[in-house]
Amino acid sequence: MRSLILDAARSIFLEKGYEQTSIRNIAERIEYSPGTIYLYFKEKDDIFHALHEEGFSRMLEQMQPLQFVSDPFERLKAMGRVYMEFAKNNKDFYDLMFIMQAPMKMEKNDEWVMGDRTLGYLKQVISECMATGRFQGRDVNFLSFTIWASLHGMCALYCRERCQAYHDEHIEHTALLNGGFQNFVDMLEKL
Amino acid sequence: MRSLILDAARSIFLEKGYEQTSIRNIAERIEYSPGTIYLYFKEKDDIFHALHEEGFSRMLEQMQPLQFVSDPFERLKAMGRVYMEFAKNNKDFYDLMFIMQAPMKMEKNDEWVMGDRTLGYLKQVISECMATGRFQGRDVNFLSFTIWASLHGMCALYCRERCQAYHDEHIEHTALLNGGFQNFVDMLEKL
DNA sequence: TTGTTTTACTGAACACCGTTCATTAAGTTT
DNA sequence: AAACTTAATGAACGGTGTTCAGTAAAACAA
């Protein structure tokens, strides 16, 4: 039942967006009454928290192949590329995972599990880079934040329509993301 | 009247947040009926669009003193610091300006004016930096995006509670922002 | 088989939301 | 005094998340 609800929620969310994903809409889709959903989820955010976790496992899946890139810095750059591609191709999931307030209101003692794992993965790669002499004297936590935030910034501006600020210069949003990423990689290389 | 509504909206928004700022609440605060508000604003987002613009003019105000910093790169760094301080001290305004979808749905032919001006300011400073030999071979638009996005990323993760990912390492959010900013400045210096 | 208890589900009700619109009241012209 | 214009109303519409008394079916006990 729980996954029946989740399947309906996901499909409405992906095809009609967050706003349209109401308890009543979900209930209608699975042909149950609204009240029923509350027997399986404490509140609406609980559903989005579940989808939130699912988003992370999807992203981690796409990063799976990168474990075979032996050079840690190459792996780090590839991770960045996958991260940004994920945001571009899964706008709604990305929004849910990194921008929306909704799934964050949970008692997060139990789960922000997947997010932690992802961040851990990033920090590990950075550590490996440092072991090869890169990023000397930097703190892993701060550096991971800098890197994460820089990429997130581009993705977030993209997701939330702020790339339109470059509309007059006739720059494609996707070119903006690519150019921005390239710049950042160049900076990282020189750090 | 228009500014009476706006004043009420701003004060509710700043003291109780976006969610609590409903047409009905605004109407109650100014002791008019809900319908009246629609005589002065086409829709709710229209109100938030006005506050959105106000946010930019507040931020630009705080950047005003920086025009006296003669070295453009120093000015650029100072702008960054002011930008992040603004986000830290005006979470809700920052959210409205750079994260929320609400004020973006407007027919933006008329106004994203202040945002444009701010971005123009950034691009100009970068140009001046380039005139002194910095950032050789970079494109102003891409570079401005890279810089803006990097700072925005940190601010956005902060505003939307994602800094909690570093909770276990007992890192203060404010330390994270400072450390992240420092890292980024170091990178910019070497680019 | 009958009675009892547990389980799953309902859907009306509550308190909100943004938005519209016929109606009213006040002020201004003619 | 009559006609017109303006400003404001507040009930109504269709939506939202959430709760809860009530129901019906299934499982268990006698």
Residue whose token pair is 């007059």: A168
Say if the Cβ atoms of B98 and A150 lie within 8 Å. no
> Is the CB of residue B24 less than 8 Å from the CB of residue B37?
no
Residues 64-103 of chain A with CB under 8 A from chain B are 98-101
Nucleotide nearest to B44 (CA to C1'): C18
- What own/partner pairs with CB < 8 Å and gap ≥ 24 does A182-187 have? A182/B142, A183/B138, A183/B142, A183/B143, A183/B146, A183/B191, A184/A80, A184/A150, A184/A151, A184/B146, A184/B150, A185/A77, A185/A80, A186/B191, A187/B146, A187/B187, A187/B188, A187/B190, A187/B191
Residues 102-141 of chain A with CB under 8 A from chain B are 104, 108, 112, 115-116, 119, 138-139, 141
Return mean pLDDT, chain A: 94
Q: Which residue, A88, A59, A103, A77, is CA-closest to A155?
A: A88
CA B182 to chain centroid = 20
Lowest mean pLDDT among A100-114, A129-143, A155-169: A100-114
> Is the CB of residue B88 less than 8 Å from the CB of residue B177?
yes
pLDDT, tens only, B95-108: 999 999 987 776 65
pLDDT, tens only, A29-47: 999 999 999 999 999 999 9
- Judged by a CB distance cut-off of 8 A, whether residue B179 touches chain A is yes
Please state the rounded mean pLDDT for residues B47-66. Answer: 95
Nucleotide nearest to B38 (CA to C1'): C19
CB neighbours of residue B16 within 10 Å:
12
Chain B residues in contact with A168 by the CB 8 A cut-off are 116
Chain B residues in contact with A96 by the CB 8 A cut-off are none
Residues of A 27-66 whose CB lies less than 7 Å from any atom of strand C: 31-36, 39
Lowest mean pLDDT among B45-54, B109-118, B123-132: B109-118
Domains for chain B: give ranges and CATH numbers.
Answer: 1-41 (1.10.10.60), 45-190 (1.10.357.10)
Q: Which pLDDT score is estimated for A104?
A: 78
Residue B88 has pLDDT above 80, yes or no: yes
b/e sequence A158-191, b meaning 16+ C-beta within 10 Å:
bbbebbebbeeeebebeebbbbbbebbeebbeeb
CA distance linking residue B184 with residue A152, whole number of Å:
14
Residues of B 68-127 whose CB lies less than 7 Å from any atom of strand C: none
In this complex, the answer to whether residue A24 has its CB under 7 A from any atom of chain D, a nucleic strand, is: yes
Residue B83 has pLDDT above 60, yes or no: yes
Residue type, B95: D
Chain A residues in contact with B152 by the CB 8 A cut-off are 153, 156-157
Q: How many helices (H) and strands (E) does chain B have?
A: 9, 0
Say if the Cβ atoms of A104 and B166 lie within 8 Å. no
Say if the Cβ atoms of A165 and B112 lie within 8 Å. yes
Q: Which pLDDT score is estimated for A76?
A: 98
Q: Which residue, B2, B31, B29, is CA-closest to B14?
A: B29
Please state the rounded mean pLDDT for residues B115-137. Answer: 95
Return mean pLDDT, chain B: 94
Q: Which two tokens stand for residue B24?
A: 């009905």
CA B111 to chain centroid = 15
Residue A174 has pLDDT above 80, yes or no: yes
CA distance linking residue B124 with residue B72, whole number of Å:
9
3 state DSSP class of B173: helix
Residues 138-157 of chain B with CB under 8 A from chain A are 138-139, 141-143, 145-146, 148-154, 156-157
Q: Which pLDDT score is estimated for A110?
A: 57
Measured in Å, how far apart are chain A's first and last C-alpha atoms? 51
Q: Which pLDDT score is estimated for A102?
A: 80
In this complex, the answer to whether residue B36 has its CB under 7 A from any atom of chain D, a nucleic strand, is: yes
Strands in B13-150 per DSSP E: none
What percent of chain A is predicted at pLDDT more than 70? 97
Chain A residues in contact with B184 by the CB 8 A cut-off are 146, 150
CA distance linking residue B118 with residue B161, whole number of Å:
26
d(CA B25, C1' C15) / Å: 14
Number of Cβ pairs < 8 A linking chain A and chain B: 142
Q: Which pLDDT score is estimated for A154?
A: 98
CB neighbours of residue A120 within 10 Å:
12
Residues 8-67 of chain A with CB under 8 A from chain B are none
b/e sequence B39-71, b meaning 16+ C-beta within 10 Å:
eebeebbbbbbbbbbbbbeebeeebeebeeeee
CA distance linking residue A38 with residue A44, whole number of Å:
8
Rg of chain B (C-alpha set): 19
